[in-house]
Structure 1
């Protein structure tokens, strides 16, 4: 009895610390940093580049995905209860198709939207996936959204958010298409690297008896992080 109580107490303290650290890290960033994260140095490089620069843009794409907390949070939610590699591959491919399509389409056509609104929707995608993992839609409305369709649709928004930011950087038309293709290849490489790291951690966690006990807390934290992202975007929209 005492051991069980101590274990629950330790779990509560652990998740509380994780939550506080996550919120603190988010609050340390400026509002501008939440408008689809592209580092200032990378922004300058994109603006000054001209001609085909395949490998540098592959690197920029991989870096964007590996450091893209919004993408990683969503992918973490997507694979949380997926155990078979076949299923993981299907969902990640759907997300990649959506992300790639709107990123290329947005930049090549020059069609953009307010970055804060797009990123707020991306934050909501994290909230949606956490609620889906918690079974909230089935419990509240008696329906289960098609998770494959939702993953594809939110992939569209994730890609469009990046396209909007790239358009703002006024990337040079010389070498535009090869550079965008290279960037997109980098995004997929970065996604595989990030996904591999997440799966390794999840694999160890799933083998412990605490996984199912802490699944609710983990997805609650995921949902809270999504709401924090939405809040920052709305603040940014209000003050610009």
Structure 2
């Protein structure tokens, strides 16, 4: 039981750290100036939301085709990038992050659904996977915080946020195009 817990915990961490689109989404969420409390609420809102849809998808309660989910994930990157450029007050960002977390959770579920998990250990496996995701995201936040605080104390911080967001928008747009047409 402990080895299964650790395996799924590790799988959650690896899923975040190897998911280029997810890393860009997290970066896009975090690059905008926020307080530590706001950063933490964004990360946690995302985790709670994706945990819900991941669980519902793995249990076959909901089933949204990846042909819809994957472009929606790319579109979420584009949206956050545009929001960073045009909306300077992101205090309530956790709300839109929760909505996008619901979409991302369905994408995460594909990995677990393909494993044909035993029903008797499903709850603990999903929990440990989500815990791994949350730990990885909080780790990314911990690494980025000093850099973010440094950037946001400079007079050029708006320009840095806008350039990073423009790059994220272009990459998200490329992934959106790829996921729709290819």
- TM value normalised by structure 1: 0.67
1:171 Cα deviation from its structure 2 partner: 2.7
CA contact (8 A) 1:113 1:164 kept: no
- RMSD between aligned residues: 2.6
Deviations 1:171-230 (A, max 9, x none): 333422211111111111111112222223323333444332333222111100111111
Aligned 8 A contact 2:32 2:161 in 1: no
Query: Secondary structure at 2:59's aligned position in 1?
Result: helix
Partner in structure 2 of residue 34 of structure 1: none
Match of 2:144 among 188, 191, 198: 198
Number of aligned pairs?
181
Residue of structure 2 in register with 1:90 after alignment: 41
**C-alpha separation in 2, matches of 1:104 and 1:82:** 32
Quick one: structure 1 residues 165 and 233, their matched pair in 2 at CA, closer, same or farther if it must change by over 3 Å? Answer: farther
* Offset at residue 108 of structure 1 (A): 2.0
Q: Distance in 2 between matches of 1:225 and 1:75?
A: 14
Instruction: Confirm whether residue 122 of structure 1 aligns to residue 73 of structure 2.
Output: yes
Equivalent of 1:135, from 79, 86, 100? Answer: 86
- Alpha-carbon distance in structure 2 between the residues aligned to 1:162 and 1:228: 21
The aligned runs of 1:176-195 (5 Å cut-off) are 176-195=122-141
Alpha-carbon shift at residue 90 of structure 1 (Å): 1.8
Give the drift of 1:54.
Answer: 0.8
Residues 91-127 of structure 1: per-residue CA shift (max 9 Å, x gap): 2221111111111121123532222320110100000
Unaligned runs of 5+ in 1: 1-49, 137-143
Larger Rg: 1
Which of 14, 18, 23 does residue 67 from structure 1 map onto?
A: 18
Q: Per-residue CA shift, 1:60-105, capped at 9, x if unaligned?
A: 1111112222222222222222331111122222111111111112
User: TM-score, structure 2 length as denominator?
Assistant: 0.86
Matching of residues 34-113 of structure 1 within 5 Å: 53-109=4-60, 111-113=62-64
Q: Give the equivalent residue in structure 1 for 2:162.
A: 216
> Contact 2:21–2:74 (CA<8 Å) still a contact in 1?
yes
- CA apart distance, 1:160: 1.1
Q: Distance in 2 between matches of 1:84 and 1:223?
A: 23
Q: Which of 212-221 and 97-106 deviates more?
A: 212-221
